[in-house]
């Protein structure tokens, strides 16, 4: 049993199989359902939520755990974070952001509200479209920050790309401000997304 839980790969494979089994149980218990637009919308929403949990979870890890505690780590121990943990965390962070945006746009397209949401419901009744639109725009701003501010500057800080001793603190500050901006926007973004699904 300990061999199973010590292997992330085995645990993830088991999780996928368990999810597939539950899907089949739900399918047959309910007498089946059509593989139509509603099904694909559900499936991409599922992937959207998974990606979003990874993205915002890592955003909060950086802001609530890693960054506030870096000053408590000795210089001898810091390479464990900067050379091993942070680059891997940033890999999952940026690609989870990308996947969240792509799957979210697919869900909006399948449900026929991309235009209404992107125009914040102006001229189309507001309400749900305004809420989901605000959430989508906040998500897009946050993803932009990840790919075009946080990641390029973190590459300098972590030594993935060449940067002078003078450039590194400037890059660190830019990355921190963008990351804290995303933390600031995360709760409003989640609020509007959930509101669009449950209040309208």
Cα 144 to Cα 161: distance, rounded to the nearest angstrom: 20
Task: Give CA separation, 126 vs 101, 187, 193, in Å.
Answer: 22, 21, 14
In order of 107, 140, 159, the CA distances from 143 in angstroms are 17, 5, 23
Nearest alpha-carbon partner for 50 in 82, 11, 96, 90 = 96
Task: Give the SS3 label for residue 124.
Answer: coil
Q: Are residues 98 and 154 in the same domain?
A: yes
Q: Specify whether the CB–CB gap between 108 and 132 falls below 8 A.
A: yes
56 and 137 share one domain: yes
What's the CA gap between 89 and 182, in Å, rounded?
16
Res. 32: pLDDT tops 90: no
0.85 exceeded by pTM: yes
Residue 183 pLDDT > 90: yes
DSSP 156-191: HHTTSS---TTHHHHHHHHHHHHHHHHHHHHHHHHH
pLDDT for residue 171 is more than 80: yes
- Residue 133 in this model has a pLDDT that exceeds 80: yes
Kindly state whether residues 12 and 87 are assigned to the same domain.
no
Same domain? 23 vs 75:
no
Same domain assignment for residues 11 and 48:
no
Do 105 and 64 have their domain in common?
yes
Percent of the chain beyond pLDDT 70? 100
Residue 119's pLDDT is 95
Q: Are residues 118 and 39 in the same domain?
A: yes
Residues 73 and 91 in one domain: yes
Helices 167-198 and 128-145, packing angle to 10 deg: 160
pLDDT, residue 66, reads 96
Q: What is the pLDDT of residues 69-126, one digit of tens each?
A: 999 999 999 999 999 999 999 999 999 999 999 999 999 999 999 999 999 998 877 7
Q: Counting every residue, how long is the chain?
A: 200
What lies within 8 Å, CB to CB, of 166 at 6+ separation is none
Domain count along the chain: 2
With 90 as the cut, is the pLDDT of residue 9 above it?
yes
Nearest 5°: phi and psi at 94? -75, -35
In this structure, the answer to whether residues 130 and 156 fall within a common structural domain is: yes
Q: Are residues 98 and 166 in the same domain?
A: yes
Which residue segment(s) compose the domain that 60 sits in?
35-198
Quickly tell me which residue has 């989640």 as its tokens: 190
- Better pLDDT: 10 or 33: 10
What tens digit of pLDDT does each residue of 54-74 get?
999 999 999 999 999 999 999
Which tokens belong to 49? Answer: 């939520």
Look up residue 73 and give its DSSP letter: S
Could you tell me if 40 and 7 lie in one domain?
A: no
Give the model's pLDDT for residue 50.
Answer: 98
Q: How many CB atoms within 10 Å of residue 24?
A: 10
Kindly state whether residues 83 and 106 are assigned to the same domain.
yes
Looking at every residue in the chain, the average pLDDT score rounds to: 95
The secondary structure of 18-60 as a DSSP string is HHHHHHHHHHHHTT----SHHHHHHHHHHHHHHHHHHHHHHHH
pLDDT at 144 over 90: yes
């Amino acid at each position: 049993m300990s061999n199973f839980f010590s292997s992330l790969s085995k645990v993830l494979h088991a999780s996928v199989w368990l999810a597939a089994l539950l899907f089949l149980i739900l399918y047959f218990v309910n007498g089946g359902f059509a593989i139509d637009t509603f099904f694909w919308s559900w499936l991409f929403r599922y992937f959207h939520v998974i990606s979003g949990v990874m993205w915002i979870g890592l955003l909060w890890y950086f802001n609530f755990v890693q960054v506030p505690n870096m000053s408590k780590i000795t210089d001898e121990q810091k390479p464990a974070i900067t050379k091993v943990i942070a680059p891997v965390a940033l890999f999952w962070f940026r690609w989870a952001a990308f996947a969240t945006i792509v799957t979210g746009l697919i869900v909006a397209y399948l449900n026929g509200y991309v235009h209404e949401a992107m125009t914040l419901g102006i001229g189309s009744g507001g309400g749900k479209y305004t809420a989901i639109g605000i959430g989508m725009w906040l998500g897009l701003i946050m993803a932009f920050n990840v790919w075009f501010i946080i990641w390029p500057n973190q590459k300098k800080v972590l030594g993935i790309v060449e940067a002078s001793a003078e450039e590194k603190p400037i890059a660190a500050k830019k990355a921190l401000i963008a990351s804290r901006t995303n933390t600031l926007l995360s709760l409003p973004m989640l609020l509007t997304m959930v509101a669009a699904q449950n209040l309208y």
